[in-house]
Chain A
């Protein structure tokens, strides 16, 4: 049975010196969060346009598909590895819609590429990284879907993953 938020006691260690040292290490500017403001209707920030650059979304779709084929995994197997549903993996490979950050995060972990760079690539982060953009164009411009990756596709995949590494 779940516990009630106002009926549990917090436990602190006897010695919190390391935590205090870490806490006072930096001066702070804003630390505020906006959940309550949202529920009270106080936010006035204009909605951020998550306008996926078409080329970035396509490049991401190809990245996922090529990587899966290179590893000779089925959609079902990739879904199991990432914790995503098969439909989510298929949607990510189609590239018609912008994948949610949650999907990008799950795939970045398995593909071992930078989650931050995937956010840039798919337009979630607006200050676009030019190097990622040009790598995406080069990658998306190559190859057709085939059962096995040809040598050029292998090379393109390798280069693109390197560009997206941390």
Chain B
């Protein structure tokens, strides 16, 4: 099965509502998500602009046109049997609430001895309506998306026999989230325009999948 039931918290009512973890998606799903997310981002940019918020304080990635770039670079094979990229996501009320795109090529652990293989998260994004944006008074529609996307990553890493090891470069405004996920902050990476590199070790992955339990 590629769909597993889960729950998200509806921020307005505080209730848990049914959602789905999807572990096998393709380019069409990414296009579906972006076609819903992009207009929302533009509306928020307009509000930030009208509120006089300096551009430097806007979420860094909102003006990126992912799909256009992906298409122009020819990166069309997402999720195919031989594709090196796997796309997964969280769906609720028939809308994509977040997506994660992972690869296991070209990245090795910077912590584990001997440069062990790990799962590298190339893209992880929550729908723009799920973010707290205090500057324009936006409360999130749902809570719990980001951490469940990370769970998909950890479980894919386990399925690949990487024991939960994950690496990623966080956008500056997301550093705190990855620290809360228990990952190790390995500092600014000059090869990635100074983005901070985070890694989850086997032990951290065990702790992540067993919240509330003492690790080891």
Query: Which of A8-16, A64-72, A129-137, A144-152 is found at the contact surface with chain B?
Result: A8-16
> Is the CB–CB distance between B194 and A3 below 8 Å?
no
Give the complex CA separation of A104 and B110 in angstroms.
Answer: 11
Residue from the list B82, B103, B160, B180 in contact with A26, Cβ < 8 A? B180
B200 to chain A, nearest CB (A): 13
Chain B positions within 8 Å of A110 at CB level:
none
Determine whether the beta carbon of A28 is less than 8 Å from that of B110: no
B161 at the A interface (CB under 8 A)? yes
- B60 proximity list for chain A (CB < 8 A): 30, 32, 45
Known contacts A6-B80, A40-B70, A105-B111: A34-B160 contact under CB 8 Å = no
Q: Nearest Cβ in chain B — how far from A107, in angstroms? A: 12
Interface residues on B, range: 35 or more
In the bound complex, residues from chain A placing their C-beta under 8 Å from that of B85 are 5
A-B contact pairs, 30 of them (CB 8 A): A10-B152, A11-B158, A26-B143, A26-B180, A27-B132, A27-B140, A28-B130, A28-B143, A30-B60, A30-B173, A30-B174, A30-B177, A31-B125, A31-B177, A32-B61, A32-B126, A33-B121, A33-B122, A37-B64, A38-B193, A40-B75, A41-B69, A43-B192, A47-B190, A83-B113, A83-B114, A101-B186, A101-B187, A102-B110, A115-B185
Residues of A within 8 A of B8 (CB): 24
A5 touches B84 (CB 8 A): yes
Q: Is the CB of B132 within 8 A of A38?
A: no
Residues of B in contact with A (beta carbons under 8 Å apart): 2, 4, 6-9, 11, 16, 21, 23-24, 59-61, 64, 66, 69-70, 73, 75, 79-86, 98, 101-104, 110-111, 113-114, 117, 120-126, 130-133, 139-140, 143-149, 151-152, 155-156, 158-161, 168-174, 176-177, 180, 184-188, 190, 192-195, 197, 209-212
Q: Kindly provide the distance from the CB of B34 to the nearest chain A CB, expressed in whole angstroms.
A: 13
Report which A residues bind B (CB closer than 8 A): 2-12, 16, 18-48, 50, 83, 101-102, 104-106, 115-116, 119, 124-125
Bound Cα distance A106, B80 (Å) = 38
Contact of A12 among B4, B146, B195 (CB under 8 A): B4
Least distance between A3 CB and chain B CB atoms (Å): 5
Point out the residues of chain A lying under 8 angstroms from B110, CB to CB.
101-102, 105
Q: Contact partner of A19 among B81, B160, B211, CB < 8 A? A: B211
Contacts of A102 in B (CB 8 A): 110-111, 186
| Complex contact B151–A29 (CB within 8 A) | no
Given contacts A6-B81, A40-B75, A83-B114, 17 further A-B pairs with CB under 8 A are: A2-B117, A11-B155, A16-B6, A20-B16, A26-B143, A27-B140, A28-B131, A28-B132, A29-B131, A29-B132, A29-B177, A33-B123, A40-B69, A45-B194, A47-B194, A101-B186, A101-B197
User: What's the nearest-Cβ distance from chain B to residue A58, in Å?
Assistant: 19
